[in-house]
Structure 1
Amino acid sequence: MADGGAKVPRKKQQRDVTRARRLRANMSLPEVFLWRELRQQDRVKFRRQHPLGPYVLDFYCADAKVCIEIDGISHDMGDQPQRDAERDEWLRSRGIEVTRIPATEVLHSPSQIAEALIRHCQR
């Protein structure tokens, strides 16, 4: 590479960033609880409401290429399961592992969920 091997950042589309910012400002209660736990540690870096392609990921660990999605009851309704499957496949085709966690589990024990995610991303 002419630039000495430096990574070229992907060009972000403004709608991705704008949507991600809006979602960060309006996170669900389980997302807030989990984010509080994840950001208090310094072993693994997570991003919240991270735009990637046509999607915004709830949480993303770039080093481990792991996407964490917190699924509320709406993920079981209508065409949402099919949309989730398509999203998961799109992410997997780009080498990103998808981990889905029910929102009720996060509400029950955010610290335990956070610790399990940290260990998973450290592997």
Structure 2
Amino acid sequence: MLERARDMRSHPTDAERRLWSVLRAKRLAELRWRRQVIIDDLYIADFVCFEHRLIVEADGGQHAENAYDAGRDAYLGAQGFRILRFWNNDVLNNSDGVAEAILHAIDSLGAQTRADPTPQPLSRKGRGALEGAHNG
């Protein structure tokens, strides 16, 4: 799985490359993002902000109505992650809108945290998470 994640980092899709240019080096609201992250030795997430337990995925058409992705999202949601999915076309043609949607999701996560100070459950690796959603 580690080799696959390394290969995915070395050979990103055009949409992943564009999204990384928005997220990398704390360019988006000073947040730290990691890309192609292995979670619980089961899944590789495109982009993860552990501070806000947020996963961002850039998806092509093969992900529409995909049972594997639904199971993956359910698992990650149960681990406390929130998942945002954006179609590659949106990332490539409206990266500003995608960045705004990510910031909006983070703002809403902050409101949830203030309203409910109970900590989210932690995954086996000690990196908690939040529930899944699909933007696209």
CA contact 1:34–1:111 (8 Å) conserved in 2: no
Larger Rg over CA atoms: 1
* Distance in 2, Cα, partners of 1:121 & 1:46: 13
CA contact 1:50–1:59 (8 Å) conserved in 2: yes
Aligned length, in residue pairs: 105
Q: Which runs of 5+ in 2 are unaligned?
A: 111-136
> What residue number does 1:18 align with?
3
Do structure 1's residue 67 and structure 2's residue 52 form an aligned pair? Answer: no
TM-score normalised by structure 1 residue count: 0.77
Deviation at 1:29, TM superposition (A): 0.3
> Which residue among 104, 111, 114 is the counterpart of 2:89?
104
Do structure 1's residue 86 and structure 2's residue 74 form an aligned pair? Answer: no
* Distance in 2, Cα, partners of 1:114 & 1:39: 12
Runs of 4+ in 1 over 6 A off after TM superposition: none
- Give CA-to-partner distance per residue, 1:26-53, whole Å, 9 cap, x none: 1110110010011151511111111112
Q: Which runs of 5+ in 1 are unaligned?
A: 1-14
Identical pairs, percent: 30
Deviation at 1:69, TM superposition (A): 1.1
Equivalent position SS for 1:38: helix
Equivalent position SS for 1:49: strand
> What residue number does 2:31 align with?
44
Residue 107 of structure 1 aligns to which amino acid in structure 2? L
Deviation at 1:119, TM superposition (A): 4.2
> Which residue among 44, 49, 56 is the counterpart of 1:56?
44
Equivalent position SS for 1:121: helix
RMSD: 1.7
Residue 101 of structure 1 aligns to which amino acid in structure 2? F
Equivalent position SS for 1:33: helix
* Distance in 2, Cα, partners of 1:121 & 1:61: 10
* Distance in 1, Cα, partners of 2:98 & 2:20: 11
Alignment of 1:104-123 (within 5 A): 104-122=89-107, 123=110
